[in-house]
Amino acid sequence: MGQNTNIFFLFLSLTFFSFIFLFPTKHNTTILKQQEIHSSWAPLGAERIKEMVDDNFFKGIRFFRVINGFMAQFGIHGNPKKAAVWREKKMTDDPVKESNTRGMVSFATSGPNSRTTQMFINFGNNANLDGMGFAPFGKIVGDGMNVVDRIFQIGK
């Protein structure tokens, strides 16, 4: 927890796009993990991610809430002025089409139609969140969950 994370946009297609998370470690090495964003699962959420990437929002973003076995949350910009602008850009909720299972990524919410920039990666099966309106828009692919699992461990 508290490690710098930089996210870089990779490519865009009609159905999904991917980007890479770069995790600096205690030993100054960098670990890569890839995430796919699926517009067919949550079109408004996928469009928001693209807007955030286009705005270079993710540079220097950190995980700020990590609960072992549950999720790792990120998405608050470190520049208070930039964070304030994005905080006002609330999104309409997408319907839940996929489940919050291991590796799925969803926007955090404080109630109906309140999503902004905060999101989380599910460590396990959190299908109970589906009925609360947490619509996954992406998933961690490849061996990326090995990296996500280490987020909690690094903070110890």
pLDDT by residue (tens digit) across 92-135?
A: 999 999 999 999 999 999 999 999 999 999 999 999 999 999 99
Say how far apart CA 69 and CA 122 lie, in whole Å: 8
pLDDT of residue 4: 40
Cβ atoms 82, 57 nearer than 8 A: yes
Collapse the DSSP code of 142 into the 3-class scheme (helix H, G, I; strand E, B; otherwise coil) and give the result: coil
Residue entry with tokens 């955090």: 108
Domains, the chain, ranges and CATH? Answer: 6-98+110-154 (2.40.100.10)
Give the CA radius of gyration of the chain: 14
Cβ atoms 37, 93 nearer than 8 A: no
pLDDT of residue 82: 93
The answer to whether the pTM exceeds 0.85 is no
- Residue 18's region, left for phi above 0, alpha for psi from -120 to 50, else beta, is beta
Say how far apart CA 125 and CA 69 lie, in whole Å: 9
